[in-house]
């Protein structure tokens, strides 16, 4: 099913060619949903943009476009307003036909990509031997949502977890544990990850202060890189211990992800150096092998070097990321690679990608995309920390959200005089708590910082997950109260769209595909959140104004169809944010 906007753009293009000739073929009609629905459903200001090119008054251009615009099957007669705005109202009969097609489709009539791509989404990426903290929240949730949208659109998505599982930190930690807790290097699960994190901090302190310890740590790294059996076993145990803890959080958040950490690319690093040398890009600088970057300078104004191999022969993050880019293009055959990391890594990726392009590893059709995000702040506007000033553990944050959701639910049940099973209370608390955390993050423009507030994210009113979950539950309440089987609503019954709230809701439902296409293109999940919030508002306005079960036929069935389509759209939209729905709350 083609979207209304897509269909109208095609008709506009045909009208432009008919009015002004073939040279206007492919002109952007500048058609968008109108900002004020009182004046139009869709509005185009293409006439103003063509005025200089055609040497005509914008209003005259608009009149000529309208004269050739064949939209009688979709819209009321187009009108021209002001200096040359072309306004369109969609016909209720067309809306009804589109809604009926939506109702009978498993995918709500939503199209899939005409040219599916192989896409990698690189997200989450915690460090082994460290607990996941609030800083991992955004990458994990944003990356998962982007992957869900792209998968739904029909793309082949590989979700990658580029964990920090190699390098100096392991030499440091293994050296420390050999002294402090040797069992952890020979016995699985000898330490909890929290204890491992504590040892890591202690090892880091020793590394910074003790030259002898630092040297022994470096030798341990060499042993690891050269495949020493004891060191590899110790490394493997530490990695597995971390994976178990990470997986508990991924299971809680319903995150699917494939681990391919730094160690995966380690065997490929020498060939990165060889290839860059063969391309004539590598230069020796103070004993290190570097590529001097174009457009990046140091404080003195000289070209900035990207170090590919250190003077001691070791490698760094840039080398690993170069190996990853090359592998993902040459071995995974990706068309689009999306990196979901904090905004502070923007320069790093720009530098790595420049070198990869200059080396000839990135074909013209391959798109490298950095999806940056801001930091999570406390209600004091500063970086979100515990009272003692430590970084908040992600597991603690999620458990707290569930606990607060439970407290809110129990207070509401008591106020309403309702008695529910422990199973119901646990399930609702878990879904609402986790949904609240996810939605509070995803509903923000990802490039901005945002303030973390349990009270705001758990509120039943406003742009929150509970508000949308409640809208879905409302529809299920209609089904229960009226004994309605939504799957068998009369497909032959006419859809009657007469009330203003019915028309507004219908138009909103038919904009879902446009929203998903926008998220697919620009990777801003908050667009989907805003759409679902506004859809919930429009449904609630419809519900408050239009009787459903009490209405006479054919209005009753027509309104039930609208309610069902709203619920199905909310369920699908929330699932693309990683949020399940509830039948009761």
| Number of domain units in the chain | 3
3-state secondary structure string, 393-447? EHHHHHHHHHHHHHHHHHHHHHHHCCCCCHHHHHHHHHHHHHHHHHHHHHCCCCC
* pLDDT given at position 482: 93
CA angle (553, 557, 558) in 5-degree steps: 100
Q: Characterize the bridge pairing of strands 258-259 and 156-161.
A: parallel
Ranges of residues in the chain whose predicted pLDDT is under 50 = none
* b/e burial code for range 234-245 (CB count within 10 A of at least 16 → b): bbebbbebbbeb
Q: 174 and 49: one domain?
A: no
Rounded to the nearest angstrom, the gap between the alpha carbon of residue 429 and the centroid of all alpha carbons in its chain is 24
Q: Is residue 557 part of a domain?
A: yes
Q: Which domain holds residue 26?
A: 4-90
Residue 373, helix vs strand vs coil = strand
Cα distance from N-terminal residue to C-terminal residue, the chain: 34
Distance CA 72, CA 329 (A): 48
Q: 402 and 525: one domain?
A: yes
Q: What is the CATH number of the domain that holds 16?
A: 3.30.1360.70
Q: Indicate the pTM of the whole model.
A: 0.93
- For residue 83, what are the CA distances in angstroms to 45, 185, 301, 504? 9, 76, 50, 27
Q: Is residue 129 part of a domain?
A: no
> Of 217, 234, 260, which closes a domain?
260
* pLDDT given at position 123: 97
Distant-in-sequence, close-in-space partners of 98: CB < 8 Å, separation ≥ 6: 1, 4, 109, 510
Distant-in-sequence, close-in-space partners of 344: CB < 8 Å, separation ≥ 6: none
Q: 548 and 442: one domain?
A: yes
- Evaluate whether 129 touches 196 at the Cβ level (below 8 Å): yes
Mean pLDDT, the chain, integer: 92
Q: Is residue 100 part of a domain?
A: no
Residue 360, classified by CB atoms within 10 Å of its CB into exposed (0-12), middle (13-18) or buried (19+), is exposed
Distance CA 585, CA 582 (A): 7
Q: 76 and 215: one domain?
A: no
- Evaluate whether 31 touches 46 at the Cβ level (below 8 Å): yes
Distance CA 104, CA 101 (A): 5
- CB atoms inside a 10 Å sphere around CB 157: 22
Q: Is residue 489 part of a domain?
A: yes
* pLDDT given at position 1: 65
- Please write the tens of the pLDDT for every residue from 360-383: 999 999 999 999 999 888 888 888
**Nearest CA-CA partner of 237 in 173, 179, 291, 285:** 173
257: left (phi over 0), alpha (psi -120 to 50) or beta: beta
3-state secondary structure string, 216-236? HHHHHHHHHHCCCHHHHHHHH
CA angle (202, 205, 207) in 5-degree steps: 110
Q: Is residue 548 part of a domain?
A: yes
Q: Is residue 234 part of a domain?
A: yes
- For residue 136, what are the CA distances in angstroms to 55, 279, 477? 55, 37, 37
Distant-in-sequence, close-in-space partners of 352: CB < 8 Å, separation ≥ 6: 306, 318, 321, 322, 325
Rounded to the nearest angstrom, the gap between the alpha carbon of residue 491 and the centroid of all alpha carbons in its chain is 35
* pLDDT given at position 387: 67
* pLDDT given at position 451: 87
> Of 229, 260, 291, which closes a domain?
260
Distance CA 143, CA 509 (A): 26
Q: What is the CATH number of the domain that holds 470?
A: 1.10.730.10
* pLDDT given at position 135: 84
Give the percent of the chain with pLDDT over 90: 72
> Of 219, 242, 260, which closes a domain?
260
User: To which H or E segment does residue 126 belong?
Assistant: none
**Nearest CA-CA partner of 471 in 479, 460, 486:** 460
Q: 62 and 192: one domain?
A: no
Q: 405 and 550: one domain?
A: yes
**Nearest CA-CA partner of 217 in 179, 181, 177, 172:** 172
Q: Is residue 173 part of a domain?
A: yes
Q: 62 and 181: one domain?
A: no
* pLDDT given at position 90: 94
Q: Is residue 184 part of a domain?
A: yes
> What DSSP state is assigned to residue 248?
H
Rounded to the nearest angstrom, the gap between the alpha carbon of residue 502 and the centroid of all alpha carbons in its chain is 31
Sheet holding 156-161, edge to edge: 258-259, 156-161, 118-122, 336-342, 367-373
**Nearest CA-CA partner of 375 in 344, 406, 418:** 344
Q: 404 and 553: one domain?
A: yes
Distant-in-sequence, close-in-space partners of 5: CB < 8 Å, separation ≥ 6: 31, 33, 42, 511, 514
């Amino acid at each position: 099913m083609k979207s209304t906007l897509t269909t109208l753009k095609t008709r506009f293009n045909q009208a432009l060619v008919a009015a002004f000739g073939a040279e206007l073929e492919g002109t952007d009609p500048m058609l968008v949903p109108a900002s004020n629905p009182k004046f139009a459903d869709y509005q185009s200001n293409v006439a103003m943009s063509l005025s200089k090119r055609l040497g005509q008054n914008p209003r005259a251009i608009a009149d000529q476009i309208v004269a050739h615009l064949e939209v009688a099957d979709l819209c009321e007669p187009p009108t021209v307003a002001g200096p040359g705005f072309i306004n369109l109202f969609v016909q209720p009969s067309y809306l009804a036909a589109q809604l009926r097609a939506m109702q009978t489709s498993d995918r709500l009539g939503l199209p899939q990509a005409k040219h599916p791509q192989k896409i990698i989404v690189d997200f989450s990426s915690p460090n082994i031997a460290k607990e996941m903290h609030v800083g991992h929240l955004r990458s994990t949730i944003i990356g998962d949502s982007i992957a869900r949208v792209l998968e739904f659109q029909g793309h082949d998505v590989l979700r990658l977890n580029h964990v920090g599982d190699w390098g100096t930190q392991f030499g440091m930690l293994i050296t420390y544990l050999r002294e402090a807790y040797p069992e952890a290097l020979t016995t699985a699960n000898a330490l909890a990850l929290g204890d491992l994190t504590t040892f890591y901090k202690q090892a880091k302190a020793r590394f910074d202060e003790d030259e002898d310890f630092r040297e022994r740590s470096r030798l341990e790294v060499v042993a690891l890189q050269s495949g020493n059996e004891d060191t590899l076993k110790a490394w493997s145990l530490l990695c597995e211990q971390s994976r178990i803890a990470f997986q508990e959080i991924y299971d809680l958040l319903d995150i699917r992800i494939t681990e391919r950490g730094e160690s995966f690319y380690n065997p490929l690093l020498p060939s990165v150096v060889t290839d860059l040398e063969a391309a004539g890009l590598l230069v020796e600088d103070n004993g290190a092998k570097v590529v001097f970057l174009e457009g990046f300078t140091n404080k003195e104004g000289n070209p900035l070097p990207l170090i590919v191999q250190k003077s001691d022969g070791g490698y760094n993050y840039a080398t690993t990321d170069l190996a990853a880019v090359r592998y993902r293009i040459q071995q995974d055959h990706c068309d689009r690679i999306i990196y979901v990391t904090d905004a502070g890594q923007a320069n790093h990726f720009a530098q790595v990608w420049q070198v990869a392009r200059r080396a000839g590893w990135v074909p013209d059709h391959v798109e490298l995309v950095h999806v940056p995000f801001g930091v999570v702040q406390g209600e004091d506007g500063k970086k979100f920390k515990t009272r003692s000033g430590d970084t908040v553990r992600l597991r603690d944050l999620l458990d707290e959200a569930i606990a607060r959701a439970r407290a809110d639910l129990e207070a509401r049940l008591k106020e309403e005089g309702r008695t529910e099973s422990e199973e119901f209370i646990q399930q609702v608390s878990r879904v609402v708590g986790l949904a609240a955390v996810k939605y509070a993050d995803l509903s923000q423009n990802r490039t901005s910082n945002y303030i973390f507030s349990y009270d705001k994210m758990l509120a039943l009113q406003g742009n929150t997950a509970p508000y949308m979950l409640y809208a879905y539950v409302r529809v299920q309440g209609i089904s229960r109260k009226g004994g309605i089987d939504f799957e068998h609503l009369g497909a032959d019954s006419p859809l009657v769209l007469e009330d203003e709230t019915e028309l507004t809701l219908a138009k909103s439902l038919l904009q879902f595909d446009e929203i998903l296409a926008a998220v697919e293109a620009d990777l801003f999940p908050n667009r989907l959140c805003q759409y679902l919030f506004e859809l919930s508002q429009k449904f609630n306005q419809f519900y408050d104004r239009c009787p459903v079960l009490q209405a006479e036929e054919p209005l009753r069935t027509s309104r039930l169809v609208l309610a069902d389509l709203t619920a199905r759209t909310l369920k699908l939209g929330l699932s693309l944010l990683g949020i399940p729905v509830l039948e009761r709350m």
